[in-house]
A and B are shown apart, each in its own frame.
Chain A
Amino acid sequence: MHNRSFFRIFMQTGAWLILAFLLLPMLVVIPVSLTDKSYISLPQDGLSMQHYTNYFTSAEWLWATGTSLFIGVGVALCATVLGTAFAIGCWFLSDRMSTIARWILITPILVPPVVQSLGFYRFWVQLGLIDTYTGVILAHTLLALPYVSISVFAALANLDRRIPQAARSLGASVWTTVISVVVPAAKPGMMAGAIFAFIVSFDEIVGVLFITVRNVQTLPKMIWQGIQDNIDPTIAAVATVLTVITLVLMAVGALRKS
């Protein structure tokens, strides 16, 4: 009995420590963003909103934010359409080939980002997509596809195969059947997938560093460059905003699911 409660305390303490280890670096940017100094530091003589003001009045930061939002929305749209089409196709076939296709589509999650980015770079050079919005949206769409199709697969797992059959027997073409009964069933998965795809794109930096130069400036890239060039605490303010946006989206996704 004594041993067991010791074990429990040990496990619980461990779990909390790991959680703190994961969260603290993220949370430390919040006090830093509120510092009253003009360099990265913890607040000393009081809290200040000056770095937030700086962020929201800097044309460069706002432009980068706009770019990231634009690319994120574009990626969410493209990845959701393609990923849903793929998942629905596989659901209808449901044979060996479609199982293999599902595995292949998941590989972007397994391949190291650097390797993938190198691939994008080599290929995008040939296609003339380097430093273009299209290039970034395309690359991010490929990275986000698995998340969309996995969540649509999950939504379709509950769809009774007789439902599309019923639509067909009632006179609907394959296309009408997909639009009127399969897509509605896939919708929760599509929503979650779109949110995931947006987050994947909004936070992505490795690929962006490889395939953009000056023309396309996303928020993560600008933070990265800001850290290298100077030690302006505005970065901490931006990072805080970014974290909050991501958390809100995750919460929305989680709420939709439940």
Chain B
Amino acid sequence: MSNSVLSVRNAVKRYGPVRALDDVSLEIGDGEFLTLLGPSGSGKTTLLTAIAGFTELDSGSLSLRGTDITGQTPDKRNFGMVFQGYALFPNMTVAGNIAFPLKVRKWNSSDINTRVAECLALVQMEKYADRLPSQLSGGQQQRVALARALSFRPSVLLLDEPLSALDKKLRADLQWELKDLHRQLGVTFIYVTHDQDEALSMSDRIVILKDGSIQQIGGPGELYNAPRTPFVADFLGKSNFIEAEVTGGAPGAVQCAAGGESFTVASAAAPATGSRRKLALRPERVRIGAPGAEAFTGQVRQLSYLGERAHVIVTHPGLGEILVSCPTWKAGITPEPGLGVSFGWDSDACVFLEDA
């Protein structure tokens, strides 16, 4: 990356037999919103705290704009951090919390007052300056933690599951606010979450972690549409998996056979003829229609209505169960369990996966 702020090189961290970080290398761009996404225990917090300086790496290095910071203490790194559970100082007021990093940096008191007021306004908490953290709701505490981490104008902001303790509605609101704040301030955000929707909606780039190693890095669309491994395809949204045999064709139109059916996959890279490969197929890319309308014939096994969409499980004698997600306002069909239907997909809907 041309304008990289922070680089992590070959980071390894073991806790006994557990490899919390297993050779992680990563470049983080200036002003980027980067999300670390993975299931619980995948090493997200470990990577974030290693960047912050709380976790000492067993090996590997960190550098900030080309300067090595591997051995630097957290107070010298000048990164803002929003902790899981907020970690507000219970003995200080909201204003006291926000002023803390400024006092530590020996700002004079009029500058501190101005900046605290600015930061309170930034997170719309002006009215709560004199409250104690224990007198605030979760969402308000979250805002104070954010203001405190931004008050000293850090170049990088680290956030560890900042929204995970909030209810769904509030989480959605704060997602928008965080995105606005990111655009407005131009600060680099490194954001940890285990929530795939949050990652998809907020990030410029997503790093997918599993068991301490990076599975794939890319933009939300790239990861969603071109997952490289079954883990990524499954973790980021839902996916159907098809074991297929490559029977011929060329790049752009690869011929595949699976479950007694044959179909074309529009893949730029053509795997060797005769090889067996796993394909990922997103449920919303599968079309469902009256018998004969689409390429394959199956039977509806189950239907679940989700409001704007419906999920239908269609069984096919060779391909097994295929999950289809279709808009409920479209098409006149009402798939009843047991109903015979046809289904199919465009040639660019399937993606070849690496074995992993």
Contact = CB atoms under 8 A, between A and B. Distances in A.
Given A168-B73, A169-B52, A169-B75, A181 B80 contact: no
A216 interface: no
A159 to B, nearest CB: 9
Main secondary structure, interface of A, reads helix
B101 to A, nearest CB: 4
A172 interface: yes
A171 B85 contact: no
A165 interface: yes
B74 A169 contact: yes
A173 B53 CA distance: 13
Given A181-B89, A181-B91, A185-B91, A168 B83 contact: no
Contact of B75 (A171, A184, A185): A171
Interface string B145-166: 0001100100000100000000
Interface residues of B, number: 28
Contact of B152 (A160, A171, A176, A184): A171
A203 to B, nearest CB: 33
Contacts of B73: 168
B104 interface: yes
Contacts of A19: none
A168 B101 CA distance: 9
Contacts of A166: 81, 83, 87-89, 148
Nearest to B73: A168
Interface residues of A, number: 17
B70 interface: no
B79 interface: yes
A64 interface: no
A169 B84 CA distance: 14
A2 B100 CA distance: 66
Given A160-B85, A163-B89, A165-B74, A170 B152 contact: yes
18 contacts: A160-B85, A162-B84, A165-B49, A165-B52, A165-B54, A166-B87, A168-B53, A168-B74, A169-B53, A169-B74, A169-B77, A170-B80, A170-B152, A171-B75, A171-B78, A171-B101, A172-B100, A176-B104
Given A162-B87, A169-B77, 8 more contacts: A163-B89, A165-B87, A167-B89, A168-B73, A169-B149, A171-B104, A172-B75, A185-B90
Interface of A: 160, 162-163, 165-173, 176, 180-181, 184-185
